[in-house]
Chain A
Amino acid sequence: MSIEIKNIRKNFGSFSALNDVSLDVPSGELVALLGPSGCGKTTLLRIIAGLETPDSGSIHFHGADATAQKVREREVGFVFQHYALFRHMTVFENVAFGLRVRPKETRPTDAEIKRRVHELLELVQLDWLADRYPPQLSGGQRQRIALARALAVEPKVLLLDEPFGALDAKVRKELRRWLRRLHDELHITSIFVTHDQEEALEVSDRVVVINKGQVEQIGSPQEVYDNPVSPFVYQFLGNVNQFHSQIHQGEANIGGVGLKINAHHDTKHSAGLAYVRPHDIEIHKVRNGEAPAFEAVIHYIHAIGPLVRLELQRADQEDLIEAELTQERFRELGLIQGQNVFVYPRNVRVFLNA
């Protein structure tokens, strides 16, 4: 089922949580709402679920206006950040809850409920925990039970609020992949909220970057990572070096070094910010022909892991530049701390100051 969100606004007192947010989620997609905490992403998710009422704007499920629909009528599955499992019920009863509270006419028989619950528990691979109580489960297990419970009512849409937020790093990674696989299996339209860019980029079909109650960018993980449309998205998705620069006819002048930027050809003498990802920083020990470069000193070397991270101090000012090289390239160059090198930025992206 597709979801269209149109011009949603929501204020809490004088705080504007959502400011004119519009978004289309095609049927069957797995979408990540990504943003820093306090950006309004959870509020948006709760508005889609009907747990919160927007001040204005509308929500459409499969083309039909659902704004006025009550939570119970929306047929959404919601996985709460802290799972909100019913403490006093067994895992089985938790999952069965949605079926048991149906009106008599539509309530499945006990045998049918039993069958369905076990089916779901098998789906989340926790059938053996059916008689346990939530406090007896690990975080990852609770998360999967919460998911099974949400799926039990056969929702048209699955909404997950920071689904991996409360888990430790290892379980988090496992569950991430598991959720992706589950989604590929069930193909239920799903939206999840996260503040973790790695999570959003790895799991989702599409990422919606939200900041201060507004959508900054919507696109595939590749798109938003490679072509951020704003300084915010640039900085939020991965590490990036930021340079103050003067833009003039397709060239960014950063501390006397002129870099071609393949954009802003008609701009003249404007201030702007230039962004370069650390892995787009090339290092040479000697000047490499005519290409523009910064002179810098190697300030610090972190050589743990597959990539080597360098902190470079520019010769002309105090700012540090971060660079990432492969171990191979690092060894090839034979760099040491305190060494003078030349820094060649590639793929420079510039945003003019507003």
Chain B
Amino acid sequence: MHKKYSKNAKQNILPGFNLSLGFTIFYLSLIVLIPLSAAFIKTTELSFSEFWAVVSAPRVVASYQLTFGASLIGALINAVFGLLTAWVLVRYTFPGKKIIDALVDLPFALPTAVAGIALTAVYAGNGWIGQWLEPLGIKVAFTPIGVIVALTFIGLPFVVRTVQPVLEDLEAETEEAAASLGANRWQTFTKIIFPAIWPALLTGFALAFARAIGEYGSVIFIAGNVPFVSEITPLIIITKLEQYEYASATAVAVVMLVISFLLLFAINGLQWWVNRRATALT
């Protein structure tokens, strides 16, 4: 009874609120907010037409297409295989399952540069996997496909780890009920299980997508970085920086920042919705 109302309670008897919140906001401002605002302030050095000329230059636009396109495809691949992986890890037993489960987080723990050179070595024309693909006419390394491979790699944990807990919490009873009412396994999946997990799947997809858009380290080794073909937007920013074009580097960065912010808010909204659904269901 008390808990229900304490949500609205302004006064809370525990100490340390001012100190902890004060420090949180101070540190957040110092490390994140003020530096990020620098990017937006820096762009004001450009007039709008200059800004527009930078962010809509053909080479930059080509990089957006590659970055967003490859991120989208990578996230879709992860949505499909991530769901499968989560399903297999939750529902089935097989030898080495624990190890596989732990390895799913590898892309999160492995430094991106290491991932980059490893994927390049594996998918290059003479690499372990690349040598089998090349005779089929599929070139992976140093092409946009390489970018997709790298972005799939780094987004891999997200779908699995968002869907997995939801699948685990699904009650066997509802599926048994469906079966007792005459549903076959496929009907049970599409009508009972999938509706319960799709918000989590969507969240995982969005997380993988957002992560892929900003990715740099794992991509640049395998991409080949050919302008108009395999050059991602973060690399454009770096190239401009190396040429001391700070304002135009920042202009491109601001475009990416705005998109990232929008995605972040969308994802947080999604997660809020998922949690609310979860609590409403229990």
Contacts and interface: CB of A to CB of B under 8 A. Distances in A.
Interface of A: 12-13, 15, 17, 37-38, 42-43, 46, 50-53, 71
Contacts of A15: 5, 8
B279 interface: no
B13 A12 contact: no
A192 to B, nearest CB: 15
A43 B2 contact: yes
18 contacts: A12-B5, A12-B6, A12-B8, A12-B9, A13-B5, A13-B8, A15-B8, A17-B5, A37-B1, A38-B1, A42-B2, A43-B2, A43-B5, A46-B2, A50-B13, A51-B13, A52-B11, A53-B13
B9 A52 contact: yes
A15 B6 CA distance: 11
Nearest to A37: B1
Nearest to A55: B11
Interface in B1-34: 1-2, 5-6, 8-9, 11, 13
Interface residues of B, number: 8
Contacts of A53: 11, 13
A160 to B, nearest CB: 14
Nearest to B8: A13
**8 pairs of A and B residues whose beta carbons are closest in the complex:** A12-B5, A13-B8, A12-B8, A53-B11, A42-B2, A37-B1, A51-B13, A38-B1
Nearest to A162: B1
Contacts of A71: 13
A226 to B, nearest CB: 29
Contacts of B5: 12-13, 15, 17, 43
A79 to B, nearest CB: 14
B1 A42 contact: yes
Of the listed residues B1, B6, B9, the one surrounded by the most CB atoms of chain A closer than 10 A to its CB is: B1
Given A13-B5, A42-B1, 19 more contacts: A12-B5, A12-B6, A12-B8, A12-B9, A13-B8, A15-B5, A15-B8, A37-B1, A38-B1, A43-B2, A43-B5, A46-B2, A50-B13, A51-B13, A52-B9, A52-B11, A52-B13, A53-B13, A71-B13
Nearest to A17: B5
A82 to B, nearest CB: 10
Contacts of B8: 12-13, 15
A74 to B, nearest CB: 11
Contacts of B9: 12, 52
Contacts of B13: 50-53, 71
A34 to B, nearest CB: 14
A42 B6 CA distance: 12
Nearest to A12: B5
B5 to A, nearest CB: 4
Contacts of A43: 2, 5
Nearest to A81: B2
A214 B156 CA distance: 57
A52 B1 CA distance: 14
Contacts of A51: 13
A219 B32 CA distance: 61
A52 B8 CA distance: 12
A250 B13 CA distance: 54
Contacts of A13: 5, 8
B178 to A, nearest CB: 34
A42 B8 CA distance: 16
B207 to A, nearest CB: 32
A277 B96 CA distance: 68
A237 B9 CA distance: 31
Contacts of B2: 42-43, 46
A13 B9 CA distance: 8
A75 to B, nearest CB: 16
Interface string B191-212: 0000000000000000000000
Of the listed residues B2, B6, B8, the one surrounded by the most CB atoms of chain A closer than 10 A to its CB is: B2
A37 B170 CA distance: 31
A36 to B, nearest CB: 9
A53 B10 CA distance: 10
A114 B252 CA distance: 67
A38 B2 CA distance: 8
A207 to B, nearest CB: 19
A57 to B, nearest CB: 15
A12 B13 CA distance: 15
A71 B8 CA distance: 21
Contacts of B1: 37-38, 42
A30 to B, nearest CB: 22
B11 to A, nearest CB: 5
A13 B5 CA distance: 8
A52 B10 CA distance: 10
A199 to B, nearest CB: 16
Nearest to A36: B1
A131 to B, nearest CB: 30
